[in-house]
Amino acid sequence: MSVDVIDRLQAMAATPGRVWMRGGHPVTYGDLLAETGRMANALAGLGLAKGDRLLVQLDKSEAVLSLYLACLRLGVVFLPVNPGYTIAETAHFLTDAEPALALVEDRRQQAIAERGAKAIGLGAFLDLVAAGQADFADPAHAPEDLAAILYTSGTTGRSKGVCLSRENLASNAEALVELWQFTEHDVLLHVLPVFHTHGLFVATNCVLFAGASMIFQRAFSPDAVLAALPEVTVMMGVPTFYSRLLADARLTPAVCARVRLFISGSAPLSPATHAEWRVRTGHTILERYGMTETNMITSNPYDGDRRAGTVGMPLPGVKVRITGPDGAVLPAGEAGSIEVMGPNVFVGYWRMPEQTAREFRDGWFVTGDLGAIDAEGYLSILGRAKDLVITGGLNVYPAEVEAALDDLPGVAASAVIGVAHPDFGEAVVACLIRSAGAELDEAEVRHTLRDRLAGFKIPKRVLVMAEFPRNAMGKVQKAELRKALAGLFGAN
Ligand code: AMP
């Protein structure tokens, strides 16, 4: 069993002066423990008890991390929701999760209350916290107790509530701290959203478990990141952060002089960005793979070859296998369904036992991602099960075609989808964004790909777009692209 998140917090707070958040007015672990105690008392005063859900829909701020820890202290289930969701979208979480309380920005409090939920605005809540006691007698917790429910981003189908236990979070934090060699001397740049597993758990728990500190920024801006980088030892980001920083001339090796590790995840990092980052900064980005349901699954090595286009090997204690359509385990090099087992894998979907059962096979969680493990153990992700294009009866993995397209001069980004086709069933279609100043010609792109890809993999159409539909984590919303292009070949 792993050390519980709160036991870790208590241990770190025992060292006076140990800094949790840097910046103008540093916050120590002692301050953090006191603040989470006041918050836990305030939540208990509002009637929340162990097992109740607290829906938190707040703009990114330091308070959200304290709230997460306060919930863990009280045993209340933390349920963060993207602040970008409309009231109508948020209503789904209110009816599905039945939170005992919704803590929202003041401007939303009335609209949420009108949906029948007990709601409190952040201002009123922080007044209660400020007036309260820091001393809080932590009750005992079990590793299997529910810590949080995170709703899936819904890139495929309806959003489901992912139930995560305390052990899920703690085991993953311990594995990542060990693998990425976090120590108390690290300073992490926190620029990710805090309603998603990446910023909420990966970034925050690595810092907490190592007793390290963070520089907390409320949104990603190249100006702020470049200003902070000289103080930073580790940065975690989504691929879009890295490509946006590359577009800024101020990104130099000197700015990154203290950094020991750049980590990318949540969406595929293009090999071009990986290569360009190395040229520009001297650092090789470490790409890792995970999902809300499983926390982190694999990572490229800390010491050793970090291979572009791969997500590395399973974390300590985590097992990964690739299976074929009949469920048989496939040998190295063969593409199939990625399945995961370990203490990182979630408890189940909230009140969806049948859905949960469908997504497990013999105790292995079926991720819905497609991939292959090479002879040296590196996993490559080839797309989502839903993304797989079957054209004229042949399987095409979008990631393979995207990799070929990304290598072409003038291509800044690519997204490959299947579109209904009267002859082939589905046709491979490529959507491209061009680099600044570049020209892209459809016939020429298709012709050039002939050297790299078998004929059936070459896109039937190549469309140049100004931008792709993306979600908050920078993931391309392929379902949106598929919808927009459904009639491209006159078939539906
Ligand atoms: P989420 O639950 O929002 O974190 O989304 C998880 C999904 O993001 C995974 O199932 C993958 O499809 C995708 N993903 C995460 N990390 C990577 C990565 N490094 N490369 C490619 N896809 C990734």
Residue pLDDT, tens place only, 437-481: 999 999 999 999 988 888 889 999 999 999 999 988 888 999 899
Q: Is the distance from the beta carbon of residue 388 to the nearest atom of ligand 1 less than 6 Å? A: no
Distance between alpha carbon 154 and the CA centroid of its chain, in Å? 13
Domain 388-484: CATH superfamily is: ANL, C-terminal domain (3.30.300.30)
Q: Is the distance from the beta carbon of residue 366 to the nearest atom of ligand 1 less than 6 Å? A: no
Given pLDDT bands bounded at 50, 70 and 90, which one contains residue 5? Answer: very high
Query: Mind listing the pLDDT tens digit for each residue in 196-221?
Result: 999 999 999 999 999 999 999 999 99
- pLDDT value at position 154? 52
Architecture per CATH, domain 5-179, reads as 3-Layer(aba) Sandwich (3.40)
Q: Where do the domains of the chain lie?
A: 5-179, 220-384, 388-484
CA distance 428 to 489: 11
For ligand 1, atom 9: residue with the closest CA: 291
Query: Mind listing the pLDDT tens digit for each residue in 8-30?
Result: 999 999 999 999 999 889 999 99
CA distance 227 to 169: 31
Class of domain 220-384: alpha beta
CA distance 395 to 382: 11
Tell which atom from ligand 1 comes closest to the C-alpha of 471: 3
Q: Would the pLDDT of 168 be above 70?
A: yes
Query: Mind listing the pLDDT tens digit for each residue in 263-317?
Result: 999 988 988 899 999 999 999 999 999 999 999 999 999 999 999 999 999 999 9
Q: Is the distance from the beta carbon of residue 236 to the nearest atom of ligand 1 less than 6 Å? A: no
Total count of residues recorded for the chain: 492
CA distance 4 to 165: 10
For ligand 1, atom 1: residue with the closest CA: 291
Q: Is the distance from the beta carbon of residue 402 to the nearest atom of ligand 1 less than 6 Å? A: no
Q: Would the pLDDT of 233 be above 70?
A: yes
Q: Would the pLDDT of 143 be above 70?
A: yes
SS3 content of the chain, % helix, strand, coil (to 5): 35, 25, 40
What's the pTM value of the predicted model, to 2 decimals? Answer: 0.90
CA of 265 to the centre of ligand 1 (A): 7
CA distance 298 to 490: 41
- pLDDT value at position 423? 82
Identify the three-state secondary structure at position 141: coil
> Is the fold of 5-179 the same as that of 220-384?
yes
